[in-house]
Structure 1
Amino acid sequence: MISVLLKMAAAAITAAAVLLLLCGAVVGFPTGQAPRSSSDCGYKSCPATQPAMLNVHLVPHTHDDVGWLKTVDQYYYGERNDIQHAGVQYILDSVVQQLQEDPARRFIYVETAFFFRWWRQQGVRTRQAVTQLVNEGRLEFVNGGWCMSDEATTHYSAVIDQMTLGLRFLNDTFGACGRPRVAWHIDPFGHAREHASMFAQMGYDGFFFGRLDYQDKKKRMVEKDMEMLWRASESLAPPDDPNLEDYNLDTMVKKFLKTANDQAALYRTNHIIMTMGSDFQYENANLWYKNMDKLIRYVNAQQSQGSKVNVLYSTPSCYLQELHRANLTWSVKTDDFFPYADNAHDFWTGYFTSRPALKRYERISNSLLQVCNQLEVLGGLISRRGPHGDGDSETLRRAMAVAQHHDAVSGTEKQHVANDYAKRLAIGSAHCQVLVSNALSKLSGSDAPRVYCENLNISVCPLTESGHKFSVTVYNPLSRSVSWAVRLPVNGTQYNVTDPSGREVDCQVLPVSQSTQDVRRDRGYARNQLVFQAEAPPLGFRTYSVSLLPSRPPQPPPRPGTPLYLQNKFLKVTFDPDTGLLSSLSNLETKQTVQLKQNFYWYNASVGNKESSQPSGAYIFRPNSSTPVVISLTAKTQTLQNSVVQEVWQQFGPWVSQVVRLYQDSRELELEWTVGPVPVHDGFGKEVISRLDTSINSSGLFYTDSNGREVLERRRDFRPTWVLKQTEPIAGNYYPVNSRVYIKDAEQQLTVVTDRSQGGSSIRDGSLEIMLHRRLLVDDYRGVAEPLSEPGEYKDGLVVRGRLLLALTTPAAAADTHRPLAEAQVLQPLVSLQAGDLPHNTLLEFSGLQAALPPAVHLLTVSQWDRDSVLLRLEHQFQIKESQTYSQPVTVNLKKLFSTLEVVGVSEMSLAANQWKDEMTRMDWKGNTGEKPLRQGQGDPSAWEVTLKPMEIRTFLLLMHPR
């Protein structure tokens, strides 16, 4: 199991942090570009402590949000100080100057996104001074990712990417001394087990965080259980990990001594940590250090009067080292730290859903980035500078890294900052689209311009709306073949679609629904949609030709009324003819049927009451009643049925509609929901849910994924590590759903796969609810200072559209199918279009793999590292004992992986790709700073065989040559 030792905050602490002891970080320079250093850094640079005294580790730090109340640029340059006084460039200027004044002073820095920008603006002399500070361990990087990521609403693949981006810069710039030894998440609003697991696999020795539930904290303080071992995976082999915490000091010596001793009473060693800093502090570092110097001097002077308190400048890793030296046995935690509440009625579970459109855009952008990375490798050097201009993956990589910040994808930022995040993703996407076009031109042999229609979900695409002939290329980023429903807005009534071999593909033309027309307004004019099923090979593309046929009569409009059922060879779904609502779902293969009623509701958002003044807001979910308001007891329905797809259009009211959709060969039922603009003229903020009530006997249990990977069991009104006093029966039972949630009994399991991170729960047995949208009238007093009421493009309120996929199986069968189903929603095919006829010699089908990978294996990363090497991550995507079929070790031969590229060298790395795997140790650094050459296979088959155990991710640097 991946284990982490945690230390959490005491009552007197205002800026707490948690620390994980992980598998062990290792010295090494995977790129060979980092400078050598003869100086001692890391644990060797830690100051001496006093074994017979209480050692108070002062940790000077700043917490610099990568966007929140101001944009990233505004925070860096110090603009818009009318919103918040903060200028990161001045913080770094000031800290570096003050560190040079006294060799005893220390400072830690976290967010590489800001440091990277500052570093590029510095001259040689400043860079040399900073490098010396790093080599001496006086400026220490902690965490080291591009940002301090959110833990509830992020997907693990994007977190790994943003950590890799930041850590690579530190590694290349400072070498081993720049490599963080601890992860530092003092601000995210609850903590995911998968994050702890990832940090362990990245080689961190500890993970510091700052927020845990107030009831959990109180119990741990009483029991002196503020440090713990966090076993963050049921499948992976164990390492140890500790936790840390901080609080601000009083400048008065007497009060400081009392505070230090009070805090020490809650912990098990003679070491405590106090963080000296907060958001955007140290712009005037002289003020901070001058006062801390006095504090240290005058407090330590009390030792001559018998005081047993020793104060010193320190860092989180130095504090961690002292915990390790104590050689104690720690308690073990195996669950996570959700949901987080800081008071009886203050549950931070609203942000699981806040800004749902941004959450979806981030997920789409992640998929595009993986496609971009893959095609940059497969297409070669021409991908960056080719027939379609200059493209790059780096712009989107950095935009995606910024979007992982805990006030970005979380939805807890001001509106103008959310707009800035979206703008960055859009700019990055445009750069990637050029790269993708160049790569596809190289691979296919066609330089014809490509179009990427980004509003297909609302039937907008000028090329297909007006084109009589065009081609559709579907690129699949997965390592297995996929079937994907292509839906294109058109104005014709009949089309011919052919695959690469010239065979006709069954296609149908459907009218565009009134709901879609209402959403898109004047952005498109297509009357119809062309729908067909496309097949795409692993890590490759297939191109289809589409031609408009001579005009035929318009397609018949959808039939009014509700059908008794929709059915294909796998599923049957029935409807209540009186209400128009779903009534049952059947799996025809397993002969299972569940009663299933689905409807939309909204919780009335509290604005405060006599129990508590706490309202619902961007962070906090607090309904004023446990009973949601049903939007409508009935739905107006229309029905479409053809050889490709069957649809029931449901209208629940002027601002809520849904399409119940069953494709011909699908084992999942699709619910495409549209919500908004959420009306608030009645004076009520609304938190809108889709609720599914079933006949499954779930016995108070439901299951959610952690950052898209391992699944955790949730029990209603229960916490595994303390006796819960439930004060908010709805909000206190909400959990983050990154990709899937399910309920089950002995025979049946209903899984819901989402297309973005959302909040979800099972408030009563047999029921699942997913929060879709939130529009609120007041701020929740957590700093944003504006209500969560997104204006939308037309300034009358945001409209959001999304999909839920429903799968009904036995619990055993669900393990084999639902994880790959969720993965396919995260990494969706990319559709590009070209007008007219393609040249006759165009390659219409291509796969970058020699063969599909085994079902248990996911190709997590294929990314260009430098000119000749490629970063590869292979992942076993099943947990131990999860699947009778796939929860077994599986072996992949790297030599037989790629179809057009030959692997000639390989070396394994840590998960974040900043250490050599075979050098990773725990708390025992060897100081090796030399370049490690890629291992040559030399004809030994075992050199290329990679075996993956359940839930294992293995990271490799490959030396590649074209075949």
Structure 2
Amino acid sequence: RHHLLTAQLFFNTVCVCVCVCVCVCMQSCHATKPDMLNVHLVPHTHDDVGWLKTVDQYYYGDRNDIQHAGVQYILDSVVDQLIKNPDRRFIYVETAFFYRWWKQQSSATQQTVKQLVDEGRLEFVNGGWCMSDEATTHYSAVIDQMTIGLRFLNETFGPCGRPRVAWHIDPFGHAREHASMFAQMGYDGLFFGRLDYQDRAHRMREKEQELLWRASDSLTPPMADLFTGILPNGYNPPEGFCWDQFCDDPPIRDDPDLEDYNVDDVVKRFLAIAKNQATVYKTNHIIMTMGSDFQYENANLWYKNLDKLIHYVNALQAKGSKVNVLYSTPSCYLQELHRANLTWALKTDDFFPYADDAHDFWTGYFTSRPALKRYERISNGNLQVICNQLEVLGGPVSRKGPFGEGDSQTMKKAMAVAQHHDAVSGTEKQHVANDYARKLAEGWQHCQVVVSNSLAGLSSSSAERIYCDNLNVSVCPLTESSKKFSVNVYNPLAQPVNWAVRLPVNGTAYSVSDAKGRSVVPVSRATQNVRRNRGFAVNELVFQVQAPPLGYTIYFVSLRQDGPPPASTQPRPPTVIKNKYRKLNICVYVLQFLQVTFDPDTGLLSSLSNLETKQTIKLTQNFYWYNASDGKNMDSSQPSGAYIFRPNSSTPFVYVSPQTSVVQEVRQWFAPWVSQVVRLYTDSRTLELEWTVGPVPIDDHLGKEVITRLDTSIKTSEIFYTDSNGREVLQRRKDFRPTWQLKQSEPIAGNYYPINSRAFIKDDEDQLTVVTDRSQGGASIQNGSLEIMLHRRLLYDDFRGVGEPLNEISSIFPEGLVVRGRLLLSLDRPPTAADTHRPLAQQVVLFKWFCPVSQLRTHHFSGLQAALPPAVHLLTLTQWDKDKVLLRLEHQFQSWESKRNSKPVTVNLQKLFSTLDVLGASELNLSANQWKDEMSRFDWTPQTDEKPLLKTFEDHSDWEVTLRPMEIRTFLLRVRLR
């Protein structure tokens, strides 16, 4: 069937009869016994795509002094053992490893593996390039990494290789948006292993460890409904039944002539475990994971003992035993649960935060390695925005043009690896984090060729593009040394956007063609300290630009000989209030839409006003830090680490009275290692806070977790809101869990949640939204406040396996890592706030991109015939193969949050692009590995009176598609370059 993904595109409205040879997967599930307890044994290995060792080291089995693990040997051994006994089963998860192994096999081995897959003896579950993290990943990157893995399986094995089950056994908490995405990708169910210890105890009592997760409040059920099962032992075997080469449990010794014969003891212990497990699950089917981290390198050990276990336990059925043991897979187990035709508990929130004991909340990794988290977010923008989009818009010349052969695949695979739950999460060893960053940098180098070729073709100029990757610290050799240059400004969004460009320069006055709001400001002391010897600019040129949707504008910049820029082009300066007592310049900062005031006594922010809506709130913003627990206290020996956040006090240490200066922006210096710049831009409805933190001092031998806190006059009633993987918003309440009674033991860490792109607090009158530039942890500990963790430097390992403290240094910062980031603040009325923060979050994630060019004439280009409606986000535009592109259109509003934009929107695919003729279109599921109209999933009945509603589409024609709130629709388009 997968070959039809190409064939069908050539026909749109014409009905064609084709004779196709269809691969039929053999019935692979072993028979169960309805009058017995059926124990499904699932042989598996959990292979981290980097953690204690790099991806390459794990695959080849290198650096076994760190951890003995070699994935290539696992796959070799498992395939050999599956061939020997047709009853045996095995599941495999990480396509990044399997893809590498597959490419190295002979055609004979590949044919054998295909037969194992067709017969269901080797089953792929999950199937993404990796098993992604769920707290710190953005949905666009998750969809991409799933697509790349599932596409390989689809093209290699056809329908028999398509996973039916999502398998997230190791992530440290589970996001609602992930469940929604899995449902839209066609999965029948999800299984995971990590669950809060109090939540698990509650679910065991109520027999609710298997449930129906309703993962969207906007998508019509069952579109985002996903059956979810919680595994009984994490993802490990039952205690005493591990038979890997590094396990200590005794093998089954079944020779009755030997003194150490132990079959009776093994069977007795197994039956006791099985019957005990059955008491906390709902059906006469239970699942046991038989494997763990990097196991089955010598698969014979496992299978020889499992064969015996199945034989001897089932032999007791002749004596009246009611336990039946069988080799199984998650999809076979799920099939039996579906056949039970029961009703299931309904869940609508998520599984954050996760704790495995009273003082052990896994909320530190929401912020761990903030520099890597930012680099991953930038790389996602580079891939989505520049590499993918410009490769399509530029056509074949983008892949082979004046600057050489371009490549987007390297970046796609590097980004896919970075989504792993020990990558962007920040929970890996330092040398592994460095390797993730290296792979991203290598991918970006390949993408730059694609970009240069594409822009050269679109602008009819082969002028060299300069990629200034260190603009966040005001470094760009071309703009620092040139008197004349051009700036190529690209907008990845489907709507026109205005924004401010900041370029390092050494002149004092410049002219910029067609730009508004020009100004030159000195480079701040903080920036000079951070960039070290990497640049020499003394000033920054700031000007407002506009770029058309999915297009670019070229601006020409030239140095003026004398004098400042004309007064008419300067932004309105802030009103400066002199404080005669403390001799600080404190200002009321006023531009077109916002007004910001600072307290004359402390130098801190004191209020924020929206001049359009006539709103004003009290707003104080400061920096604090929690001293990290070293584990030496009465309550618990648990220290803070890469995973765990555990402050040694509920009261953070505070900075007050920063040194403040005003240079067309407010610069605050809180300490030698904490500073901030407060900015308002012309035509902007947001306040920018650019923070710089580090090196975090540890001379006092205390680890520190640095936060910024916004204290407002908003009446929040201990409630705040966070996004889920950058999409839907969830309500959070202090010391509360929606589905179980929380006994709070960590009043700070136990109230932290992941913030992937934004969080907000609100009451009936005011809503303050904070948009972040990376994934971070945050909380609302006090009424009217919102705190966000920015940086962590710790001195102890937290005993969760990584084996080293989170104490980052680098060659540039040997004394400790310095991190810089931005928070964007907006103030609105609650009924209309989403109209601002939804598009703003997309702008930050898919950041507006620009590159200086030696010299180009002014030029404009848009890849769209017209801007798309505000509710529609162009999520994916990427080359699929020679004449086909993959397109995802997303309705980016929830059904309840905007009177104006939470409505269905219709888009005409044939009238979308300015450079492409769309010749054919076929709709796929979210992961692009099935036709949408042929995707079928199990129906489940929740414990509620609601009846599932089947989703229907009401498109007006073959070319017009309708998007409803929170809906993503995926299309494979056959195109021709105009």
1:549 shift after superposition:
1.5
For 2:647, the equivalent position in structure 1 comes to 623
Matched, 1:386 2:414: no
For 1:521, the equivalent position in structure 2 comes to 532
1:224 shift after superposition:
1.1
Matched, 1:221 2:204: yes
Contact kept? 2:28, 2:119, Cα under 8 Å: yes
1:794 shift after superposition:
2.5
For 1:353, the equivalent position in structure 2 comes to 367
For 1:23, the equivalent position in structure 2 comes to none
For 1:791, the equivalent position in structure 2 comes to 809
Matched, 1:743 2:761: yes
Q: Deviations over 1:347-371 (max 9, x none)?
A: 0000000000000000000011012
Contact kept? 1:28, 1:919, Cα under 8 Å: no
For 1:11, the equivalent position in structure 2 comes to none
Counterpart residue type for residue 663 of structure 1: Y
Counterpart residue type for residue 920 of structure 1: M
Aligned equivalents of 1:419, 1:780: Cα separation in 2: 21
Task: Output the TM-score relative to the length of structure 1.
Answer: 0.92
Aligned equivalents of 2:345, 2:28: Cα separation in 1: 29
Give the share of equivalent positions with the same residue, in percent.
73
In structure 2, list runs of 5 or more residues that go unmatched.
Answer: 9-19, 242-265, 577-582, 940-954
Contact kept? 2:496, 2:867, Cα under 8 Å: yes
Q: Deviations over 1:257-285 (max 9, x none)?
A: 00000001111111000000000000000
Matching residue within 116, 120, 142 for 2:125: 142
Matching residue within 337, 341, 347 for 1:327: 341
CA, structure 1 residues 206+29, in 2 after alignment: closer, same or farther (shift >3 Å)? farther
Q: Deviations over 1:176-218 (max 9, x none)?
A: 0000000000000000000000000000000111111100100
Contact kept? 1:377, 1:863, Cα under 8 Å: yes
For 2:461, the equivalent position in structure 1 comes to 446
Aligned equivalents of 1:478, 1:65: Cα separation in 2: 34
For 1:4, the equivalent position in structure 2 comes to none
Which is worse superposed, 178-187 or 368-377? 368-377
Which is worse superposed, 768-777 or 383-392? 383-392
Contact kept? 2:523, 2:537, Cα under 8 Å: yes
For 1:242, the equivalent position in structure 2 comes to 227
Counterpart residue type for residue 668 of structure 2: Q
Counterpart residue type for residue 403 of structure 1: A
Contact kept? 1:30, 1:913, Cα under 8 Å: no
For 1:590, the equivalent position in structure 2 comes to 613
1:40 shift after superposition:
2.6
Aligned equivalents of 1:785, 1:895: Cα separation in 2: 55
Matching residue within 616, 623, 638 for 1:600: 623
Aligned equivalents of 2:155, 2:3: Cα separation in 1: 11
For 2:559, the equivalent position in structure 1 comes to 548
SS at match of 2:281: coil
Contact kept? 1:29, 1:175, Cα under 8 Å: no
CA, structure 1 residues 36+628, in 2 after alignment: closer, same or farther (shift >3 Å)? farther
1:493 shift after superposition:
1.1
SS at match of 2:641: coil
For 2:69, the equivalent position in structure 1 comes to 86
SS at match of 2:156: helix
Matched, 1:208 2:191: yes
For 1:114, the equivalent position in structure 2 comes to 97
1:671 shift after superposition:
0.4
Matched, 1:294 2:318: no
SS at match of 2:228: coil
For 1:176, the equivalent position in structure 2 comes to 159
Aligned equivalents of 1:816, 1:352: Cα separation in 2: 27
Aligned equivalents of 1:36, 1:78: Cα separation in 2: 41
1:83 shift after superposition:
0.3
Contact kept? 1:184, 1:207, Cα under 8 Å: yes
SS at match of 1:263: helix
CA, structure 1 residues 68+874, in 2 after alignment: closer, same or farther (shift >3 Å)? same
For 2:667, the equivalent position in structure 1 comes to 649
Counterpart residue type for residue 373 of structure 1: N
1:554 shift after superposition:
12
Matched, 1:909 2:924: yes
Matched, 1:813 2:832: yes
Matched, 1:852 2:867: yes
1:665 shift after superposition:
1.5
Aligned equivalents of 2:599, 2:21: Cα separation in 1: 72
For 1:3, the equivalent position in structure 2 comes to none
Matched, 1:754 2:772: yes
- Paired residues, number: 906
For 1:663, the equivalent position in structure 2 comes to 681
Contact kept? 2:213, 2:228, Cα under 8 Å: no
Counterpart residue type for residue 890 of structure 2: E
| RMSD (CA atoms) | 1.8
1:379 shift after superposition:
0.3
Matched, 1:953 2:977: no
Contact kept? 2:473, 2:530, Cα under 8 Å: yes
Aligned equivalents of 2:6, 2:122: Cα separation in 1: 23
Q: Deviations over 1:653-685 (max 9, x none)?
A: 000000011112211110000000000111110
In structure 1, list runs of 5 or more residues that go unmatched.
Answer: 1-25, 642-646, 925-939
Counterpart residue type for residue 468 of structure 1: K
Contact kept? 1:27, 1:919, Cα under 8 Å: no
For 1:230, the equivalent position in structure 2 comes to 213
For 2:267, the equivalent position in structure 1 comes to 253
Q: Deviations over 1:20-67 (max 9, x none)?
A: xxxxxx98853469x9664534xx321111111111000000000000
Aligned equivalents of 1:493, 1:689: Cα separation in 2: 36
For 2:5, the equivalent position in structure 1 comes to 30
Q: Deviations over 1:223-255 (max 9, x none)?
A: 111111100000112125323324314441110
Matching residue within 837, 845, 853 for 1:834: 853
For 2:25, the equivalent position in structure 1 comes to 40
Contact kept? 1:491, 1:528, Cα under 8 Å: yes
Counterpart residue type for residue 851 of structure 2: S
Aligned equivalents of 1:671, 1:562: Cα separation in 2: 18
For 2:742, the equivalent position in structure 1 comes to 724
Which is worse superposed, 866-875 or 563-572? 563-572
Matching residue within 528, 531, 549 for 2:542: 531
CA, structure 1 residues 843+637, in 2 after alignment: closer, same or farther (shift >3 Å)? closer
CA, structure 1 residues 950+819, in 2 after alignment: closer, same or farther (shift >3 Å)? same
For 2:286, the equivalent position in structure 1 comes to 272
Aligned equivalents of 2:21, 2:436: Cα separation in 1: 37
* TM alignment of 1:402-421, pairs within 5 A: 402-421=417-436
Contact kept? 1:739, 1:754, Cα under 8 Å: yes
Matching residue within 311, 320, 324 for 1:310: 324
Contact kept? 2:498, 2:544, Cα under 8 Å: yes
Q: Deviations over 1:802-850 (max 9, x none)?
A: 0001111110120211111111100111111111x33xxx671100000
Which is worse superposed, 577-586 or 149-158? 577-586
Contact kept? 2:832, 2:899, Cα under 8 Å: no
Contact kept? 1:492, 1:551, Cα under 8 Å: no
Which is worse superposed, 45-54 or 125-134? 45-54
Matched, 1:284 2:298: yes
Matched, 1:879 2:902: no
Matching residue within 575, 585, 589 for 1:566: 589
Aligned equivalents of 1:93, 1:312: Cα separation in 2: 24
Contact kept? 1:848, 1:899, Cα under 8 Å: yes
For 1:823, the equivalent position in structure 2 comes to 842
Aligned equivalents of 1:380, 1:553: Cα separation in 2: 43
For 1:934, the equivalent position in structure 2 comes to none
Aligned equivalents of 2:761, 2:604: Cα separation in 1: 21
Q: Deviations over 1:883-916 (max 9, x none)?
A: 1111111100001100111111000000000000
1:690 shift after superposition:
0.4
Matching residue within 765, 771, 776 for 2:789: 771
1:921 shift after superposition:
1.2
Aligned equivalents of 2:362, 2:563: Cα separation in 1: 56
Aligned equivalents of 2:702, 2:497: Cα separation in 1: 44
Aligned equivalents of 2:232, 2:79: Cα separation in 1: 23
Q: Deviations over 1:456-506 (max 9, x none)?
A: 01000111110111100011110011112110001111111113xxxx644
